[in-house]
Amino acid sequence: MGLGVVTLVQDAMSRQRAVTAGALVCAVSMTVLASCSRPSVPAETTAGAAPSVNAAATSANAAATSANDTPLAGMPPILDADNIYSADGPGNLSPTVARFPSRIYVPNSGSNSVDVIDPVSFKVINHFAVGRQPQHITPSYDLEHLWVLNDLGDSITEIEPATTKKGKTIRVKDPYNMYFTPDGKFAVVVAERESKLNFLNPSDMKLIESVPVPCRGVDHLDFSANGRFLIASCEFAGMLVKVDVSTRRVLGTLTLEAGGMPQDVRSSPDGKLFYVADMTANGVYVIDPYSFTRVEFIPTGKGAHGISLSRDARLMYVSNRAAASVSVIDLATRKVITKWEIPGGGSPDMGGLSADGATLWLSGRYNREVYAFDTRDGRLLARIKVGKGPHGLAVYPQPGRYSLGHNGLFR
């Protein structure tokens, strides 16, 4: 077993405490038994072997959605059908966030703390303790607040971006990740160890409905352009799951290559495709979100993990955590056009762009550091020491009308 695989195993095992929960999920349906019976952490795929792309969804209901479906009631209007990220252009800050200082908020999963970085001086200017194992920092739907997701602490901690100071802490069960439905009606807590998507009232974070998903390790997701459904990755089952937003009903699952570990998920600008980074496939799957089938696979590098889009939505940045690199994909051709290497090695994970799009910020998961890349030439501008296990850092404020959550998903 190589060092890269050992690293993946250590990361997965630190988050998968309840193996019995996976067994209970397996008992729900014989259709998912094969996936749930696989080892929690699949073996790494053969280097250089591109996965096949001919599998279909396991449920015919998954194909019952269409790009022509009317948008989710109550969601903000789609400004540009060809670019759902048109409000995320460089410097296009909402009046809500224009008064906030530009900062990088870093959750240190192994140190149970948050570091706050000044992006101009590249210095840590604030540090405070939070709950156990903070995984991501999530902007609220209305852009007013940030939430630190203390996964094993079963709580979320508020940050006031006007002052960069810690606020109240609220009890929330298993908040590995958190998103918001496009209409702003629900906060969706991704309860990874419980294999659930928990729909909460975003005003008080009280549970409204809990939706079990038929796969282990649910962790990242994105919403369709019309807001009608979401697609989530299931890291420990090598699968994707599709869920109707209005009915909170599971529409179907899609099994990726055997031994896969899908991670970050992102819609294409026109909404016609979804991109899914996979750590053991070492690249990005291209998915048709409506028929829920695989279209293509783009090799990027060992440990493909996080996805960010350029401010003009023409380029996709994929962090290759085990390869200490970032692959830049041209979305028009779906080809890697360049790769940025971290001198001396590193472990680039999750991150986001500066408001002007000139800098890509990424956490260094196993190196206790944060990286800043110049997006014009890929030059590493800085590597900043932080706490142990930095994960889903948030660059804030960012352009956009509203937040769909994660560590900075705006439309």
SS3 of residue 272 by DSSP: coil
The pLDDT of residue 402: 98
**DSSP-based three-state secondary structure for 95:** coil
What pLDDT is attached to residue 258?
Answer: 81
First to last CA, the chain: 41
CA angle 209-213-216, nearest 5°? Answer: 130
pLDDT at residue 48, as a whole number:
42
pLDDT of residue 15: 53
Identity (one letter) of the amino acid at 240?
A: L
Structural domains for the chain: 3-396 (2.130.10.10)
pLDDT for 22 = 40
The answer, yes or no, to whether residue 139 has pLDDT greater than 90, is yes
Q: Which residues contact 107 (CB under 8 A, 6 or more apart)?
A: 114, 130, 134, 135, 136, 137, 148, 149, 390, 391, 392, 393
CB 363 within 8 A of CB 338: no
Q: What is the pLDDT of residue 229?
A: 98
Give the lowest-confidence range in 52-66, 154-168, 234-248: 52-66
User: Residue 377: what pLDDT?
Assistant: 97
When the pLDDT of each residue in the chain is averaged and rounded to a whole number, the result is 89
Q: Quick: pLDDT tens for 365-405.
A: 999 999 999 999 999 999 999 999 999 999 999 999 999 99
**pLDDT at 16 exceeding the cut of 80:** no
Answer whether residue 5 shows pLDDT above 50.
no
Specify the pLDDT at position 280. Answer: 97
Indicate if the pLDDT at residue 178 is higher than 50: yes
Please say if the pLDDT value at position 112 is more than 90: yes
Length of the chain equals 411
2: how many CB neighbours lie within 10 A of its CB?
Answer: 11
CB-based contact 361:371 (threshold 8 Å): yes
Instruction: Say how many CA atoms lie within 13 Å of 196 toward its Cβ.
Output: 18
Give the model's confidence band at 257: pLDDT under 50 very low, under 70 low, under 90 confident, else very high.
confident
pTM of the model: 0.88
Task: Render pLDDT for 83-98 as a digit per residue (tens, 0 to 9).
Answer: 999 999 999 999 999 9
Reference 366, options 382, 387, 380, 344; nearest CA is 387
At residue 43, the pLDDT reads 35
Tokens describing residue 181: 């439905």
Q: Is 385 left (phi over 0), alpha (psi -120 to 50) or beta?
A: beta
Residue 49's CB is within 10 A of a number of other CB atoms, namely 11
Q: What does the DSSP assignment read for 182-232?
A: TTSS-EEEEETTTTEEEEE-TTT--EEEEEE-SSS-EEEEEE-TTSSEEEE
Q: With bands split at pLDDT 50, 70 and 90, how would you rate the model's confidence at 278?
A: very high
Amino acid (one-letter) located at 399: P
Averaged pLDDT for residues 134-146: 98
Asked if residue 318 lies in contact with residue 281, where contact means CB atoms within 8 angstroms, the answer is: no
Torsion of CA 289, 291, 293, 296, to 10 degrees: -70
Q: What does the longest C-alpha to C-alpha distance in the chain come to?
A: 55
Which pLDDT band, with edges at 50, 70 and 90, does 61 fall under? low
Q: Strand, helix or coil at 297?
A: strand
What is residue 405's DSSP assignment? Answer: B
CA–CA gap between residue 95 and residue 85 (Å, rounded): 18
